[in-house]
């Protein structure tokens, strides 16, 4: 078990927009199908956002989440992980609306306020399908992704303490590891901490290989054996960083939320294609893939029968 690798798959997110790829899942049916395929390909954890079925704009509407969550639960035993980061225009109450109803085994928890600049993400788009997309992206040069200590503690109270939800702690820079260490010292959060180190978001730490080791070494010092390490990287860095994390004993996250590509200049046709690729690489390196129940045991999750959907 110690060496098994948990593959998380983030199937749609709130960064990419419909005009960037025809393969980005948008409707509840597409999100459910893509999640099920990713689980069948080897993902133990499915990280989920919702989108307006007509326009593809990220939505916090619990009714939309409830159109795909039960379908995923009935068709796979993957761990369902719901975002609390939401989309770029959402208040904290918006961001918590669906998680508070769904009470999932796991939610993301972003470990600090930061710039989150994706204003150039649409540079290659020549035809915009929907009017919301371009302003949504371009305004992020003036956007602060708000995650104060009070916000973080509130999410832990309302979801973790109240419903037994555990967290994917999103750490986009080294300071976020120290924020999490503060929360651990104060007993706001409980081990084992599932720490997602994130590389290549403009506003966070850059996607340089030495930074991966720097983040891991810092997390080792701060958390010792109280944490479980996973890594994601944005865009073209996705595969190299997840491979490096696997080699260094980490778990990995892929999916179209983090990158739309499967290779240089080639759009991924599905989330499952990315899961299958990192799985192939890890298995070639003699690493084994964790099942959902092995992930549950490692992360001390409450179980798929104790959720609200
Ligand atoms: N979009 C990723 C870089 C969240 O959903 O809370 C991080 C993320 C945030 O998944
Ligand atoms: Zn997300």
Kindly tell me if the per-residue pLDDT of 56 is higher than 70.
yes
> Does residue 10's CB lie within 6 angstroms of at least one atom of ligand 1?
yes
Give residue 194's pLDDT.
99
Is residue 11 within 8 Å of 255, Cβ to Cβ? yes
Indicate the CATH number of 4-303 among 3.30.70.60, 3.20.20.70, 3.40.50.300, 3.30.420.40: 3.20.20.70
CA of 83 to the centre of ligand 1 (A): 7
Of 1-5, 24-28, 30-34, 138-142, the least confident? 1-5
Query: Of all atoms in ligand 1, which is nearest to the CA of residue 168?
Result: 6
Show the 3-state SS of 44-70: CEEEECEECCCCCCEECCHHHHHHHHH
Q: Which pLDDT tens digit goes with each residue over 9-20?
A: 999 999 999 999
Give residue 89's pLDDT.
87
Kindly tell me if the per-residue pLDDT of 275 is higher than 90.
yes
Give residue 2's pLDDT.
58
Give residue 288's pLDDT.
98
Angle at 169 between CA 166 and CA 172, to 5 degrees: 170
> Does residue 106's CB lie within 6 angstroms of at least one atom of ligand 1?
no
Kindly tell me if the per-residue pLDDT of 298 is higher than 60.
yes
Q: Which pLDDT tens digit goes with each residue over 130-163?
A: 999 999 999 999 999 999 999 999 999 999 999 9
Q: Which pLDDT tens digit goes with each residue over 74-110?
A: 999 999 999 999 999 899 999 999 999 999 999 999 9
Q: Where are the domains of the chain?
A: 4-303
């Amino acid at each position: 078990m110690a060496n098994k690798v948990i593959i998380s798959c983030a199937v749609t997110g709130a960064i990419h927009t419909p005009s960037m790829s025809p393969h980005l899942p948008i409707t509840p049916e597409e999100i459910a199908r893509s999640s099920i395929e990713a689980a069948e390909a080897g993902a133990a954890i499915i990280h989920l956002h919702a989108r307006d079925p007509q326009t593809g704009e990220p939505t916090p509407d619990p009714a939309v989440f409830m159109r795909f969550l039960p379908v995923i639960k009935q068709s796979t035993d993957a761990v369902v992980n719901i975002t609390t980061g939401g989309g770029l225009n959402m208040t904290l109450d918006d961001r918590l609306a669906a998680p508070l109803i769904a009470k999932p085994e796991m939610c993301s928890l972003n470990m600090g306020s930061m710039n989150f600049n994706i204003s150039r993400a649409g540079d290659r788009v020549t035809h915009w399908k929907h009017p919301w997309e371009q302003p949504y992206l371009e305004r992020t040069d003036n956007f602060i992704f708000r995650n104060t200590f009070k916000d973080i503690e509130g999410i832990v109270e309302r979801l973790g303490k109240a419903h037994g939800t555990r967290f994917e702690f999103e750490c986009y820079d080294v300071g976020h590891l120290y924020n999490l260490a503060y929360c651990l010292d104060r007993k706001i959060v409980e081990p084992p901490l599932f720490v997602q180190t994130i590389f290549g978001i403009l506003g966070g730490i850059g996607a340089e290989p030495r930074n991966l080791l720097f983040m891991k070494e810092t997390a080792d010092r701060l958390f010792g054996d109280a944490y479980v390490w996973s890594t994601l990287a944005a865009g073209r860095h996705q595969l190299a960083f997840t491979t490096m994390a696997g080699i260094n004993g980490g778990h990995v996250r892929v999916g179209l939320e983090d990158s739309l590509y499967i290779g240089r200049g080639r759009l991924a046709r599905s989330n499952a294609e990315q899961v299958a690729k990192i799985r192939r690489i890890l298995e070639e390196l003699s690493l084994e893939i964790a099942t959902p129940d092995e992930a549950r045991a490692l992360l001390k999750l409450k179980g798929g029968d104790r959720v609200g959907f």
